[in-house]
Amino acid sequence: MSVSLSPLLGVDARLGEYGDIVRAAIAEGVPLDWPEEWLRIVVADYPARGGKAIRPALCLATCEAFGGRVIEALPSAVAIELMHNAFLVHDDIEDSSQLRRGIATLHDAHGLPLALNAGDALMVLAQRALGANVATLGARIATRVAGEFSTMAYHTIQGQATELGWIRDGIVDLGPDDYLELVMRKTCWYTTVHPLRVGALIGSWGSADLEAMVRFGFLLGAAFQIRDDVLNLVGDERAYGKEVLGDLIEGKRTLMLLHLLRAAGGSDRSRVVDFVRTPRTARTPDGAAAILELMRRHESIQFAEHFAAGISEDAERSFEAAFGRRANTPAGEFVRALIPYMVERSI
């Protein structure tokens, strides 16, 4: 397979190109001997819904910036996107979400049992994709990539457990530091840190300093997550593809919610605490809209947007430190352009 990319393109178009390559590889990789109705269709559903492909694009572009070719990092990028979709499937079940990328979640469309199993299948396919690295990258680099993947999953699961635990046990005594630590684990490792590390590892044939990627990845991923949380409050449901105010209904501890819990006093704070401690099925859209109104009054969304803008500035500096002279390659410029993209995107 040969892969070529246009040299100059905007972020959206470039994401589209990387995304097309990865989606094609994923579609080709769904095993033909798996039963169609009960597994192949269910497994292929989310990846074909056309997400932004930020994660695999970041991996592929970083590989290029560090001197490698797209094809060398493709199995690892495919594994990242598959794992992302596995997390989405299981996350949607855990949160009882109803919409994903504008249509019914996998468990609503196919029933919970087959959806849960398809999430497991996506993880299995991710591991198979990594297995292909042995032949193309050799056992030494392939083993390091597999270790990076395992570390990424380790942190993601930990972050997910903490978020679910906060919700289940009605934890509200949390500040921005708690939020950032959560986001580092549940979002940044698999969205930015891991794609950056693996791209640099493969592109540099194992010689790049991967530790510098952790700080940049953390800042880039935190900016991404805060924007995601804001879009859930103020976004256009059709463009955004999830239920607007869904995070509030699910009881998610976002930066805005934590700000509101600190900024509001007296009866306002009590209303927020009561809302997030209400059982999930008893939280109504009207109740969520009332919390959103409180967030507007206490300027919680503005706070989060300023917070993300500050993180974004730090990310610019840590990008230079992580990429060094590779910052000025075309692929490096694409990665740099992702920094403002993260806080400006509307989907």
168 touches its own copies (CB under 8 A): yes
Shortest separation between residue 9's beta carbon and its own copies, angstroms? 36
Shortest separation between residue 42's beta carbon and its own copies, angstroms? 8
297 touches its own copies (CB under 8 A): no
Q: How many residues bind its own copies (CB under 8 A)?
A: 47
Asked whether 303 and 255 are in contact (CB, 8 A), the reply is yes
Distance CA 47, CA 23 (A): 7
Shortest separation between residue 247's beta carbon and its own copies, angstroms? 15
Give the binding range for its own copies (CB under 8 A) out of 166-174, 209-217, 227-235, 318-326: 166-174
142 touches its own copies (CB under 8 A): yes
Asked whether 111 and 35 are in contact (CB, 8 A), the reply is no
Closer CB to its own copies, 65 or 79, in the complex? 79
Give the binding range for its own copies (CB under 8 A) out of 33-41, 65-73, 315-323, 324-332: 33-41
Closer CB to its own copies, 114 or 260, in the complex? 114
Shortest separation between residue 246's beta carbon and its own copies, angstroms? 15
180 touches its own copies (CB under 8 A): no
Residue choice 7, 35, 266, 279 for contact with its own copies (CB under 8 A): 35
Closer CB to its own copies, 27 or 161, in the complex? 161
In the shown chain, the binding pattern of residues 101 to 140 toward its own copies, with x for contact by CB under 8 A and - for none, equals ----------xxxx-xxx-xx-xx--xx--x--x----xx
57 touches its own copies (CB under 8 A): no
31 touches its own copies (CB under 8 A): yes
Shortest separation between residue 95's beta carbon and its own copies, angstroms? 7
Q: Which residue has the tokens 């972020």?
A: 11
347 touches its own copies (CB under 8 A): no
Closer CB to its own copies, 143 or 329, in the complex? 143
Per-residue CA distances from 178 to 256, 270, 271, 302, 314 (Å): 13, 21, 22, 19, 19
Closer CB to its own copies, 114 or 294, in the complex? 114
Residue choice 8, 32, 169, 325 for contact with its own copies (CB under 8 A): 169
Shortest separation between residue 86's beta carbon and its own copies, angstroms? 8
Asked whether 63 and 200 are in contact (CB, 8 A), the reply is yes
Closer CB to its own copies, 177 or 286, in the complex? 177
Instruction: Give just the sign of the alpha carbon dihedral 235, 240, 246, 248.
Output: negative
Q: Which residues bind its own copies (CB under 8 A)?
A: 31, 33-35, 37-39, 42, 90, 93-95, 111-114, 116-118, 120-121, 123-124, 127-128, 131, 134, 139-140, 142-143, 146-147, 149-150, 153-154, 157-158, 160-162, 164-165, 167-169
